[in-house]
Amino acid sequence: MFPIYLTGLSGAGKSTIGPMLAGRLGLPFLDLDTLIEADAGRSVSAIFEAEGEPGFRSREHQALARVAQGPLAVVGLGGGTLLAEANRHLVEGAEVIWLEVSAETAASRLVGRTDRPLLRVGSPAATLAGLLVERQYGYHTAATRRIATDGLEPSAVAESLAAGLLTPRELACRFDGHEYPVRIVTRGMDSLHDLVGRLNVRHAAIITDQNVAPLYTSSVANVAQELGLKHSVHVFPAGEDGKSLSTVETLMRSLRAAEVDRGGCILALGGGVVGDVAGFVAATYLRGLPVVQVPTTLLAQVDSSVGGKTGVNLDAEKNLIGAFHPPSGVLASMATLDTLPEPVYRAGFAELLKHGVIADPALTTALTRNPDAIAARVPLALARWVRASVAVKRDIVESDPREKGRRKVLNFGHTFGHAFETASHFELSHGDAVALGMLVATWLGERLGETDAGTYEALHAALTAIGLPTDWQRRLNDRVLHHLLADKKRAGTDLDFVFARRIGEVDIRKVPLNTIQDLATAARSSGPA
Ligand SMILES: NC(=O)c1ccc[n+]([C@@H]2O[C@H](COP(=O)([O-])OP(=O)(O)OC[C@H]3O[C@@H](n4cnc5c(N)ncnc54)[C@H](O)[C@@H]3O)[C@@H](O)[C@H]2O)c1
Ligand SMILES: [Zn+2]
C-alpha cells in the first residue's frame, strides 16, 4: 500500500533508524534527500546554493509525489518536508512515524556535520529549537505514530517500531448473528492461544493434510499443550481428491477413536481443501463442534476460511455436499506462506485481487505497484493485503450470508474461470483460471458498455505485477466455450454475469447467452492479447 514515512528534526535519527526498521520489516529504505540529490545530480547544499530554498522545496515535492506512488518502502523524509500542506496531503492515509527528539540531543548528534544548510549559522541547538517550534505542527498533524528517541539506542527504536507495525490485526466477522475474530499475524502461531482458550474445550482435534502436517502441526499442538488440552492429530492425503465423503468418514472414525466428544473442538490446519473438509466434519460430527480455521494458503486466508461455507465434492461435482458452519475464530499467519510452492502462492493472489476489483481500488493499486514485495513474500505487505481482502469478503458475506443475491458478486471472473479450468482438465489451477476469467469478463464488459474504458488495462497490469497468466485469447478455444455453454444451458438463455463497472465496483447483469458467445468468438480473432 503506502510507504512508511519517518519524520522528525535533523538529528532525530531518520537515516540511522530508517534502514534498521526497513531491514526488520523486509522492505527497502529510501532517503528522500538522497533521491533529490540523485535527481538533481548535485548535493542538497549545492541545490540550496544554486536554486535557494524554494528550488529545493519544489524538487522535494516532486520526489515525494513519486515516492508516494511507488512500491512499499520505508522512506526517511527531510526535516522540513511536512511543513508544506501539499506534502502532508501526499502522505495522507500512510503510516507516518514521528521520531521525537529534543533540540539539545539533535544538536549533539549532529556535531561535526556540515551537510545541513539550515544549521550553518548560529548555535545548532538554538536553531534546532526554533525549527522544532516551526515544524511541530506539521509533524503533529501528519504523524500516525510517535516515539521519543532521547536516550534510546537507534536499534531499540527500530525494534520497538517494528514490533508496533507487525502487531496482529483483527477483523470481527459476523454470520447470522454469530461473531468471530479473524486475526492476521506476521509470524508464529501464538495468537492461537486465546482463540482456542476462549472456547472452553478439553480436547483439540487437529485436522490437516499430509503436506502441511510435518510443517506446522507441532506449533499448533504446542498451543493445545500450553492450554492444558488433550490433543489429537488427524491427517488425510493432500489435494482436491481428498475432498470427499470417504475422507470425511475416515476422519470421523479417527475422531471417535481418539474419543473426541462434545467437549472437543476442531482445528483446521491447511489450505482450502482442509478448511472445507474439516469445517464440514466440524459441522456434522456430534451435530456440530466449534472449529478454528488456521488457513495456510493465501487462497484459504482470503477466501475459504472466511464466510462459513464448508463441504466436499461428490465425484466430479464440486462442493455438492456441505453446510454453512462459520468458524469460532480464524488465525491467518503470514509465516505459513513461506513454505508454499510458488504456483500455489501466486494462484492465491487471484482471489485476493478479485476482492480488490470488487470493492477496494487501493488494494488493486497496491498489488500493481509491488511486484518485488509479492515475489519476496514480505510478511508486513502480505498482512496488509490479506486484511484488506478479507474485509471485502466479510462485508459482502455479511450483507448476504446464504448467497441469495449480493454474495454472487464474489463469482466475478468465475463464469469463464470455471470453463478455462474444466477445459484444461484442471491443468490450469483455479487461481490461474480465475485470473483469465476476470480478464475476459472485463474485456466483454468494455465491449458491452458495462465496464469503464481503461479497466481492462488496469486489471491486466495488476495480474502482470503478480505474475498471473493473462493470455486468455490464446486459450479461449472451442472447448472452453463448450464448457461455458454446457454449464449454463440449464439456466435458460440469459446468464447472470458479474461485470466490473470499474476497479472497485462490480454488478450483476443478465446477458443473453448468445451475446456472450458471439463476443467471445470475436475476441479470439481481435482485441488485446
Ligand atoms: N469454502 C469456501 O468458501 C471456499 C472458497 C474458495 C475455495 N474453496 C475451496 O478451497 C480449495 C482450494 O484451496 P487451496 O488452493 O488452498 O488448495 P489446497 O488446500 O489443496 O492447498 C494447495 C496445496 O498446498 C499445500 N499446502 C497448503 N498449505 C501449505 C503451506 N503452508 N506450505 C506448503 N504447502 C502447503 C497443500 O497440501 C496442497 O498440496 C478448493 O477445494 C475450493 O473449492 C472454498
Ligand atoms: Zn474461486
pLDDT in tens, the chain (529 residues): 689 999 999 999 999 999 999 999 999 999 999 999 999 999 999 999 999 999 999 999 999 999 999 999 999 999 999 999 999 999 998 999 999 999 999 999 887 777 776 666 678 889 999 999 999 999 999 999 999 999 999 999 999 999 999 999 999 999 888 999 999 999 999 899 999 999 999 999 999 999 999 999 999 999 999 999 999 999 999 999 999 999 999 999 999 999 999 999 999 999 999 999 999 999 999 999 999 999 999 999 999 999 999 999 999 889 999 999 999 999 999 999 999 999 999 999 999 999 999 999 999 999 999 999 999 999 999 999 999 999 999 999 999 888 888 899 999 999 999 999 999 998 999 999 999 999 999 999 999 999 999 999 999 999 999 999 999 999 999 899 888 887 665 556 788 899 999 999 999 999 988 888 888 888 876 645 4
Residues in the chain, how many? 529
Domain ranges of the chain: 4-165, 169-340, 406-525
Cell numbers at 293, concatenated: 480455521
Tell me, using a 6 A CB cutoff, whether residue 303 lines ligand 1: yes
Atom of ligand 1 nearest to the CA of 276: 1
**Closest C-alpha among 255, 273, 274 to residue 265:** 255
Quick check: CB of 519 below 6 Å from ligand 1? Answer: no
Confirm or reject: Cβ of 432 under 6 Å from ligand 1.
no
> Is 215 touching ligand 1 by the criterion CB < 6 Å?
yes
Q: From the CA of 308, which ligand is nearest?
A: 1
For residue 295, which atom of ligand 1 is closest to its CA? Answer: 28
What separation in angstroms does the CA of 425 have from each of 246, 282, 416, 422?
23, 31, 14, 5
Evaluate: CB of 340 within 6 angstroms of ligand 1. yes
Ligand nearest to the CA of 304: 1
3-state DSSP assignment of residue 316: coil
CATH code: domain 406-525 is: 1.20.1090.10
Three-class SS state of 422: helix
Please work out whether the CB of residue 276 comes within 6 Å of at least one atom of ligand 1: yes
Among protein residues, the one with the nearest Cα to ligand 1's atom 10 is 272
Q: What is the 3-state secondary structure (H, E, C) of 366-400?
A: HHHHCHHHHHHCCHHHHHHHHHHHHHHHHHHHHHC
SS (H, E, C) 487-527: HHHHHCCEEEEEEEEECCEEEEEEEEHHHHHHHHHHHHHCC
Cβ neighbours for 362, distance < 8 A, ≥ 6 positions apart: 1, 356, 388
Show the DSSP H helices in 69-149 as ranges: 85-90, 103-109, 124-142
Nearest atom of ligand 1 to the alpha carbon of 211: 37
Hey, what CATH class is 169-340 in?
A: alpha beta
d(CA 273, ligand 1 centre) in Å: 5
4-165 matches 169-340 in fold: yes
**SS3 label, residue 189:** coil
Ligand 1 centre to CA of 304 (Å) is 8
The DSSP code for 81 is G
Buried/exposed code over 474-484 (b: 16+ C-beta within 10 A; e: otherwise) = ebbeeebbebb
Best CA proximity match to 455, nearest among 409, 413, 502, 414: 502
What whole-number distance in Å separates Cα of residue 415 and Cα of residue 237?
Answer: 29
Report the amino acid identity of residue 477.
N
Pocket test for ligand 1, best of 208, 240, 273 (most atoms within 8 A of CB): 273
**Domain 4-165 listed as CATH 3.40.50.720:** no
101-102-106 Cα angle (round to 5): 75
Q: Is 13 left (phi over 0), alpha (psi -120 to 50) or beta?
A: left
